[in-house]
Chains A and B, each alone.
Chain A
């Protein structure tokens, strides 16, 4: 579904991503793990079009998308849940969700998507008329995910969904990521919480200083000693 080919991205004067290659097949959960500053978020921002690569390609459904405008990429079916949630304060929960469906023209089906989102996250339904800024951190993460789902993405990019959340919320978020995937959305998950991410991922890539150091199935990487030492506190 998505192929990242020889991707090089600069962050200011620094080469943040040095010739990264990876693929995501339809229906998978793929995770990129790595320490802070390994370049995980930069890759995600390049896929969604916020950042532009110096060289290399991002091929999505057989089309290069690395030069396309962000709204075009969203329309093609890629939705990003940004790091730090970035919900819209001042807009109600429901208005935030409505913005997620901004580009959709199939108005008659949008109500069904609201229902789907509220089924994943019942708390959002309870709070749908509240200002999104009044939600707790975990609820804001749910709203950010719900907002991305409103676009009916084929591929969902999740940037550090567990960051700063209480353990009970983390478990819930990971359960829901699996449920979303089971319902047919391909997932690219970026996490510092490598244990959790690898446990639900079909495949994973280990990133360090802008390069892919290792790859394998989630289970293989979980069992890998180098990965355990570096990222799993083993």
Chain B
């Protein structure tokens, strides 16, 4: 019972990181039908920004995270502007391959500039472990969970309540009709990239704090897992991405807990295959229906 509780806490912490990342995948896919494979690398850039903001600029944690979010939002907007926007009317595969290219560029560019060595993330917040009912919960875990949930709620409010959020939804369901009411597609798409990338930036700083180690390739595996989370939740669905992220996190820690650490990645992909066989549109995915 205690082990289960403990793994639940670990899984939720890790899952909230995947959820934050998955949101970016799902929002970008929702609006321009592109799997932005460079998204995991934006998370890496967020972690590096946090590293330098704390070490170099002596920012505290909150400031480091907020500035990483702003920085990543900017990077996301620039990537869209230079890499994806010129391909807006090209076949989808062209944009997809470009996304993979952007990912390689960021990974290798960062390796070139900062070396491939892992560096330890400054621990701006001293880890304190609480013992509650036999469970070990660290303040970092609580911070990750709390921040992630707060950001997800904030995002939900932005999408549901604000005019820009409604415009995002309008563009994602019908870009042409959205244009006809005067919505500027470019602005809306930039806004979507900014939001998604800001979430990735926050996740990068949080993971730095949690795992204490960052390197230029750190975005690869979590990026793909967050993509899996978005697909499992139903790509294009915001609540689906959150749920998918938590599920993947729980699954991964669960597999480790039963002693199959070596297979934790394989299990994630296996579950992806099963879900796609049973629910091809994901858990919250819309069944595509053609209305004439």
Residue B154 lies at the interface, judged by CB distance under 8 Å to chain A: no
Residue B226 lies at the interface, judged by CB distance under 8 Å to chain A: no
- In the assembled complex, the CB of A97 is this many whole angstroms from the nearest CB of chain B, namely 10
Choose among A48, A80, A98, A103 the residue that contacts B166 (Cβ–Cβ < 8 A).
A98
Contacting pair A103 B182 (CB below 8 A): yes
Residue A4 lies at the interface, judged by CB distance under 8 Å to chain B: no
- In the assembled complex, the CB of B6 is this many whole angstroms from the nearest CB of chain A, namely 39
Contacting pair B167 A99 (CB below 8 A): yes
Residue B258 lies at the interface, judged by CB distance under 8 Å to chain A: no
Residue A142 lies at the interface, judged by CB distance under 8 Å to chain B: no
Contacting pair B173 A147 (CB below 8 A): no
- In the assembled complex, the CB of B239 is this many whole angstroms from the nearest CB of chain A, namely 13
Contacting pair A74 B182 (CB below 8 A): yes
Give the docked Cα–Cα distance between A79 and B180 (Å): 7
Which of A90, A150, A151 gathers the greatest number of chain B CB atoms within 10 Å?
A90
Contacting pair A86 B169 (CB below 8 A): no
Contacting pair A74 B169 (CB below 8 A): no
Q: Does more than half of chain B's interface fall in helix, strand or loop, or is it mixed? A: helix
Cβ contacts under 8 Å, A147 to chain B: 181
Query: Assuming A98-B163, A102-B163, A102-B183, is B176 touching A87 (CB within 8 A)?
Result: no
Interface residues of B in 152-183 (CB under 8 A from A): 163, 166-167, 169-170, 173-174, 176-183
Cβ contacts under 8 Å, B180 to chain A: 48, 50, 70, 74, 79-80, 82, 86
- In the assembled complex, the CB of A113 is this many whole angstroms from the nearest CB of chain B, namely 13
Cβ contacts under 8 Å, B174 to chain A: 86, 88
Contacting pair B179 A70 (CB below 8 A): yes
Query: Assuming A99-B183, A102-B182, A147-B181, is B176 touching A91 (CB within 8 A)?
Result: no
Q: How large is the interface on A (under 10, 10 to 19, 20 to 34, 35 or more residues)?
A: 20 to 34
Residue A184 lies at the interface, judged by CB distance under 8 Å to chain B: no
Q: How large is the interface on B (under 10, 10 to 19, 20 to 34, 35 or more residues)?
A: 10 to 19
Give the docked Cα–Cα distance between A122 and B243 (Å): 39
Choose among A89, A90, A99 the residue that contacts B181 (Cβ–Cβ < 8 A).
A99
Residue of A nearest to B183 (CB): A102
Residue of A nearest to B187 (CB): A71
Residue B256 lies at the interface, judged by CB distance under 8 Å to chain A: no
Cβ contacts under 8 Å, B163 to chain A: 98, 102
Residue A100 lies at the interface, judged by CB distance under 8 Å to chain B: yes
Choose among B170, B176, B184 the residue that contacts A99 (Cβ–Cβ < 8 A).
B170
Give the docked Cα–Cα distance between A148 and B182 (Å): 10
- In the assembled complex, the CB of B186 is this many whole angstroms from the nearest CB of chain A, namely 10
Question: Chain B, 82-112, contact with A by CB distance < 8 Å: what is the 0/1 string?
Answer: 0000000000000000000000000000000
Residue A5 lies at the interface, judged by CB distance under 8 Å to chain B: no
- In the assembled complex, the CB of B173 is this many whole angstroms from the nearest CB of chain A, namely 5
Interface residues of A in 138-163 (CB under 8 A from B): 147-148, 150-151
Give the docked Cα–Cα distance between A151 and B184 (Å): 15
Residue of A nearest to B174 (CB): A86
Contacting pair A50 B176 (CB below 8 A): yes
Residue of A nearest to B179 (CB): A70
Contacting pair B181 A74 (CB below 8 A): yes
Contacting pair B182 A88 (CB below 8 A): no
Residue A75 lies at the interface, judged by CB distance under 8 Å to chain B: yes
Residue of B nearest to A89 (CB): B173
Give the docked Cα–Cα distance between A32 and B283 (Å): 47
Interface residues of A in 91-134 (CB under 8 A from B): 91, 95, 98-100, 102-103
Cβ contacts under 8 Å, A98 to chain B: 163, 166
Give the docked Cα–Cα distance between A80 and B178 (Å): 11
- In the assembled complex, the CB of A141 is this many whole angstroms from the nearest CB of chain B, namely 13
Residue of B nearest to A81 (CB): B180
Give the docked Cα–Cα distance between A86 and B179 (Å): 11
Residue of B nearest to A73 (CB): B182
Give the docked Cα–Cα distance between A195 and B4 (Å): 73
Give the docked Cα–Cα distance between A148 and B177 (Å): 10
Query: Assuming A50-B176, A86-B176, is B181 touching A100 (CB within 8 A)?
Result: yes
Choose among B166, B176, B177 the residue that contacts A95 (Cβ–Cβ < 8 A).
B166
Chain B residues proximal to chain A, CB less than 8 Å: 163, 166-167, 169-170, 173-174, 176-184
Can you identify 17 A-B contacts, CB atoms within 8 angstroms? A50-B176, A50-B179, A71-B179, A71-B184, A74-B180, A74-B181, A79-B180, A87-B177, A88-B170, A88-B174, A99-B170, A99-B181, A100-B181, A102-B181, A148-B181, A151-B181, A151-B182
- Report, nearest first, the 3 A-B pairs whose CB atoms are least far apart: A74-B182, A86-B177, A103-B182
